[in-house]
Structure 1
Amino acid sequence: MIAFIDEHRDQFGVEAICRTLGATECGFITSRAYRAAKRRPASARALRDVLLLEELKRIHAENYSVYGVRKMHHAMARAGWQVGRDQIARLMKAAGLQGESPRVC
C-alpha cells in the first residue's frame, strides 16, 4: 500500500489517493497513517530479513541454484543460521529463488 502511494503521490496527492482507496484488506489508510508509516524505522524482522536474503542468495548460487526450501534450510543451519523453514520459504519466494525438480530419464 505504501509503495503504491509513493509511486502515484506526485500525480494525484496522498490525501486524494487515501480517500479513493478507502477500505482495503488491511483496513483503512489515511494520509496521517501513511506519513507515520514513512517515518517509522524498519522493524527487527525487516532488518534480519535483509541479512538472511543476502545469505540465501549466496548459498543458493553456490549450490548451482538447485536447492529448494528443505535443502536451503539444512544449508543455512550448517552455515550457523538459526532460521525456520517457513521463513526461508517466504524469503525465497520474495527473492524469486526456487529449486530445480529432479530430471527423469
Structure 2
Amino acid sequence: MFLEYTDYKNLGGVIAEEDVFALYERQAAAKADYYTQGRISALEEIPTAVQEAVARITDLLFHKKDGEIKACSNDGVSITYADTQGVDAAVLQILRETLSPELMFRGVAR
C-alpha cells in the first residue's frame, strides 16, 4: 500500500468508504509500480509525489469503474463500452506529470 486512507482524504480523495478505497488504491498502486518498473516498491519511504499520483489514479479508477460508454442505440438496446486504453493513457499522463524522471525512466541504466 502506497497510500493510507487518511492521507488520501487529506489529498482531496473522493471515495467515502475505506474498504472501497482499499480496492481502488491497490489497483492504482499496481499500475504506478508497473509503469515505474517496480521502482516505487523498492523505495524505503514513499515520497509525497507518489502518494499524490496514487490518489489521483485511485479517483480516476473509481470514476471509471462502470466503463465509459462509446456508443449506444435505443431500439436494439446495444451499448458499446470504450476500451481501457483511455484509462491507461490517463494513468500514464498522471504519472508523467507527478513523478520524477528517475522513477519514470524506461531505458537501461549504464
Identify whether the pair has TM-score above 0.5, normalized to the shorter chain.
no
**Bigger relative contact order, structure 1 or 2, given CA contacts below 8 A and separation 6+?**
2
Specify the TM-score bucket, using the shorter chain as the normaliser.
Answer: under 0.3
State the structure with more CA Rg.
1
The structure in which a higher percent of residues are strand is 2
State the TM-score, normalized to the length of structure 2.
Answer: 0.24
